[in-house]
Amino acid sequence: MIENSGLQSIHVQKRTLFIVLFSMLFSIQAPFYIGVVSLFLYVITKKSEWMYIFFISFILLFCNMNLNKEIWAFGDFLGVGNDLGWYSTQWFSFAEYPHGYMSIFDSDFVMFINDGFLVQPKITEPVYHSFSYFFSRLTDGNYIFYTYFITTFIYLPACIVIYKILESEKVDAILIALVLIFFIFFSMKFTNMFNMIRHYCSGSFLIITLYFIYFDRVKWAIFFGVIAILTHNAAVVVCAIYGLVYLIERSPIKSDYKKLLGVVLGASCLSIAYLAVYFLTFTNYEELDDRGSGLLFKFLDLIIVTLSIFAYSSTKKSKLDKLWFYYIAVIILISFMHLTSFLQLRYYAYFDYFRWIGIIYIFNALMRVTKYHFLLLIVALCGFLFFLWLRISISDFDFDGMFHNYFLLRYV
């Protein structure tokens, strides 16, 4: 047993070294081409190294795009500014901030940005601001480090979680590939990503929380749930949803329909309670939006949710069905959040980290009705890549070029 464990540890170390070296030497230089080739090598060889290279390559591509993204956007919906403008200014300012760390949370601390917009770090949300403060000072406010770190953190934990969960259930390699290309190119709203930076960082902690809940490691789930809340307080209601669904899913109730009814009713009650608190403490928040997540894309989401329900109902029961209840509960939450223009944007962004659950069942159903699985993968890859290209082309943000302009590394 000990000998096998040692051999496994050596294998993991070799795999990690290979991934790091390959990413540094090749993926960072030609991320698109290396990513596509790695995806097909994974499907052919079934070796996890190539799947890691696949999503790391495209994360590096997105890092490069964000590095060239305009900091301030003044489109139809973004005239009042955006998080990238606020928090990049905070990042630069902290490099030479003359006061101590705790002073950034003082009530008299004010950081004005451009036309008077301010960022006030809250003591109840110290995780992101602590990162910004300490790492800005360590790197002398280096913007390349900031952009690459934040973009990677928004994507990488989720990619690893999705892959690890599906791999643990012995899911077919092509189905894993389909789910991950959906997540990277469709599910994550790349154009909105740097419009809600702390929100997406909180989402990364939330999907790590979901990972530990899935494997019944409750203590770690609670830990990362708390970290998610301390990154962005909006995560509190999602964590409450997690707790509700976990208790219902583990209850002695044997009927899945009764469990689902409990999830729907419970999530509705939590959402209504949260909305009541919100309206009682409402302040005049600015409205931020992006055409990359407008009504057309929400209609596509409605189609995906509907199809996933039909696909789920016709699929054999499996351990993955544990995720289904969380998926439905978050949909209920987001539906209620659309009663306000401010909360719907925030919680709809959280859905980026859950959308992949429903797509598992849709792709699984498609693979049952066709034997041309490899062709399905090619069509899906082309379709989702075009979808991302379209979303970027209509975004209010300027990326100093289109998606295809970043297939090779662009130097600043």
pLDDT of 68-106, one tens digit each? 988 765 544 444 456 787 788 888 888 888 888 888 887
What pLDDT is attached to residue 116?
A: 44
Cβ pair 352, 203 in contact under 8 A = yes
What pLDDT is attached to residue 340?
A: 82
Domain end residue (candidates: 123, 145, 167): 145
What pLDDT is attached to residue 120?
A: 76
pLDDT along the chain (412 residues), means of 10: 54 74 86 95 93 94 92 52 77 85 74 51 92 94 95 96 96 97 94 86 97 96 98 95 95 88 96 90 58 76 95 90 95 91 83 96 95 96 95 85 92 72
229 occurs within a structural domain: no
What pLDDT is attached to residue 4?
A: 55
- Beta-bridged to residue 112, according to DSSP, are 118
Q: Please tell me the distance from the alpha carbon of residue 302 to that of residue 166, in angstroms, as a whole number.
A: 24
Domain end residue (candidates: 96, 128, 145): 145
94 occurs within a structural domain: yes
Look at residues 74, 94, 76, 77 and name the one whose alpha carbon lies nearest to residue 85: 74
214 occurs within a structural domain: no
Domain end residue (candidates: 145, 180, 196): 145
State pLDDT tens for residues 252-269.
888 888 999 999 999 999
Cα-based distances in Å from 13 to 7, 10, 16, 19: 10, 5, 5, 10
268 occurs within a structural domain: no
Task: Supply the range of the domain harboring residue 117.
Answer: 83-145
In this structure, the answer to whether residues 65 and 87 fall within a common structural domain is no
What pLDDT is attached to residue 360?
A: 97
206 occurs within a structural domain: no
In this structure, the answer to whether residues 61 and 87 fall within a common structural domain is no
Q: How many domains does the chain have?
A: 2
358 occurs within a structural domain: no
Cβ pair 206, 353 in contact under 8 A = yes
In this structure, the answer to whether residues 127 and 89 fall within a common structural domain is yes
Global pTM value: 0.92
In this structure, the answer to whether residues 90 and 130 fall within a common structural domain is yes
In this structure, the answer to whether residues 61 and 94 fall within a common structural domain is no
What pLDDT is attached to residue 334?
A: 93
92 occurs within a structural domain: yes
In this structure, the answer to whether residues 63 and 88 fall within a common structural domain is no
Q: Please tell me the distance from the alpha carbon of residue 25 to that of residue 34, in angstroms, as a whole number.
A: 11
130 occurs within a structural domain: yes
What pLDDT is attached to residue 11?
A: 63
Dihedral sign, CA of 120, 125, 131, 133? Answer: positive
SS3 content of the chain, % helix, strand, coil (to 5): 75, 0, 25
What pLDDT is attached to residue 10?
A: 63
State the amino acid at position 75 in one-letter form.
Answer: G
Strand 112-113 to strand 117-118: parallel, antiparallel, or no bridges (unpaired)?
antiparallel
Q: Where are the beta strands (DSSP E) in 105-199?
A: 112-113, 117-118
What pLDDT is attached to residue 7?
A: 54
